Structures are given as C-alpha cells and as structure tokens.
C-alpha cells in the first residue's frame, strides 16, 4: 500500500548500504531529472507525504495471520503463477514493501520460488521492517520512489504493483517507470481499487476518509477500462485482466480489526470469509469483480 519516495543521490544510497538496505541494480538517473521539485509548496507537499507514510509504517499493526490476509496471499500467488509463469531466475521488482512488513509477505514467497526479488518503498520504517522480516531470503530492498525508480532501463523481467499507485495523483508516471525498467517482453501486473466493486468499497473508503477513520490516506479507484488505458498510454500491450479479493471491503476491515484488537472474534470473521474463498476457487469469474482489479501489461519486443 505504501509508495516510493524520491531518492536523494549517493548520500542516501550509502546510508542505505550502511543499514543493510541494498539499492539493487542502479544506474544513471535517466528519468529523474524532473524529480527534484524547486517550488516551495511542492517541496513541502513532498515532505508531508513522506512524513505521513513514515508514521503509518512506524505505527500500523501487522496484519499477517488474519483470515482475509491468507485469502489475499492465496490470490496473489495464483495471480503471479498464472501471469508470470515459473519465477526461478526472473528478476522481479515490487513497487512497495507494505506486504513484506505488514501483510502477505508475497515478495518473500517469490524469492522462495527462485526469483531475484527487489522492492522499493517510501517509508523507512517499512523498509527496515521488511529487511528484518525477509532476512532469510535474498531480497534487495531500498528506500525510493516508484515514480522515479533508481534502476537502469530494461533491468527487470517482471514488475508487481498491487495497491500502490492509487495513493498519489501522478499514477501515470509510476506506470511509465514500470515500463522503462522492464526488458522487452517483460510483464507488469498492476492492481488498483475497483471503482465498480459490487460491495461498494470505494464508497466506504470515501465515507471513512471524510470521518478521518481511513488509515491509508489519499486513495483513488479505477474502472477496468481506465486501468487498461493507462497501461496502454505507457506503451504496454494489455494481455490479461483479472482481480483479487472478491470480498466485501467492510468484512476485510472487520476481520483485520478483530485480528489486531479482539482475537476471539476473529473466529467469527474467518467463518464469514470462508464462503468467499470457496467461491473464488470454484468460479474464476468472481475474481474480475474483486475489490482490487489487475491488468497485465507486456512491454513490446524490439
């Protein structure tokens, strides 16, 4: 859920290395020229944005072990297996590290399948937590901005972005960066909130945000057509459309709340989630209506 933050040059890279946080396959900042904001309001906005995600990463509870989180991870594993094929030997970049610190640990699963796994995130606490959580895997993680990726063009075989780019206005820049760092023929799986979620999750998020009760800050939702068009404008050929988590948003939120603050009640929410898990396994069409929709884009071969 978290997104990247701007890189601050070699001093930042050396600091990351001292903390055991590798920057991966970096190269010249060919797309970074416009990332250094000079307008004071823009600079302050960036600082506030970084502070917000720092605080969220520092204080948000761990969601691993909840029934809805297990459902989420099973959906991710299926999505990655279906659209990326065997992961062994593939260089895969994930555009945030929220899952690795607080949620499904899906990047560690990819590394366990033999992928060369990389991740980037805005929030220093999230990166540090992900580093500790994934200590047994060969992951390379860094503090950085998914709108200005610190990697050479054509570095990766795959990019995975789930629940990331909806948290800032310039989502198209992030998708363009995914395209840039992919090799020709490489694939990006991009997931965002479903504007037409049958359980009306965007409406729930809007209401909670207005009341100051939504913990993830600014969030947009997309139609399937809008998501596809965004990838196509970046240069991708969309080769697949699907989704994950055919589940009421309120049930996911309630399950997480019980998991964190009222463990005995989590048995009840887990029972309520099981019919959706059963439906997901038996009716593939339900996935297209999950509260996160996903498009699979392939970079054109030369």
What pLDDT, in 10s, does the model give residues 176-228?
Answer: 999 999 999 999 999 999 999 999 999 999 999 999 989 888 899 999 999 99
pTM, two decimals, is: 0.86
Band (25; pLDDT cuts 50, 70, 90):
low
Under DSSP, is residue 131 helix (H, G, I), strand (E, B) or coil?
helix
The 10s digit of each residue's pLDDT in 39-73 is 777 778 788 888 888 988 888 999 999 999 999 99
Region of poorest pLDDT, from 62-66, 109-113, 134-138: 134-138
The domain spans of the chain are 9-29+41-298
Q: Which fold has domain 9-29+41-298?
A: Rossmann fold (3.40.50)
Q: Are 26 and 152 in contact (CB under 8 A)?
A: yes
CB of 293 within 8 A of CB of 240? Answer: no
In the chain, the N- to C-terminal Cα span, in Å, equals 33
For residue 128, is pLDDT > 60?
yes
DSSP 188: E
Please check whether residue 247 is in contact with residue 290, taking contact to mean a CB–CB distance below 8 angstroms. yes
């Amino acid at each position: 859920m978290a997104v990247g933050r701007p890189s601050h040059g070699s001093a930042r890279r050396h600091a990351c290395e001292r903390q055991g946080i590798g920057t991966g396959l970096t190269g010249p900042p060919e797309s970074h020229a416009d990332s250094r904001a000079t307008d004071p309001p823009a600079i302050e906005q960036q600082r506030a944005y970084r502070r917000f995600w720092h605080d969220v990463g520092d204080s948000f509870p761990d969601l691993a072990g909840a029934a809805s989180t297990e459902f989420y991870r099973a959906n991710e594993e299926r999505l990655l297996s279906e659209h990326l094929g065997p992961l062994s030997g593939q260089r895969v970049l994930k555009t945030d590290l929220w899952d690795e610190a607080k949620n499904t640990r899906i990047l560690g699963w990819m590394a366990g399948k033999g992928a060369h796994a990389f991740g980037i995130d805005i929030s220093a606490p999230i990166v540090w937590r992900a580093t500790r959580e994934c200590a047994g895997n060969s992951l390379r993680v860094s503090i950085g901005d998914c709108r200005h990726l610190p990697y050479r063009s054509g570095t990766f075989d795959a990019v995975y972005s789930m629940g990331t780019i909806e948290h800032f206005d310039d989502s198209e820049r992030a998708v363009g960066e995914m395209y840039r760092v992919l090799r020709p023929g490489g694939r990006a799986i991009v997931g965002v909130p479903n504007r037409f979620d049958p359980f009306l999750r965007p409406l729930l998020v809007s209401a909670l945000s207005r009341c100051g009760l939504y913990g993830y800050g600014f969030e947009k939702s997309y139609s399937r057509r809008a998501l596809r068009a965004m990838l196509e404008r970046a240069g991708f050929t969309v080769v697949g459309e699907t989704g994950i988590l055919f589940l009421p948003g309120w049930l996911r939120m309630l399950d997480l709340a019980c998991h964190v603050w009222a463990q005995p009640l989590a048995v009840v929410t887990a029972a309520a989630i099981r019919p959706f898990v059963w439906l997901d396994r038996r009716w593939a069409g339900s996935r297209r209506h999950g509260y996160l929709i996903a498009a699979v884009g392939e970079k054109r071969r030369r």
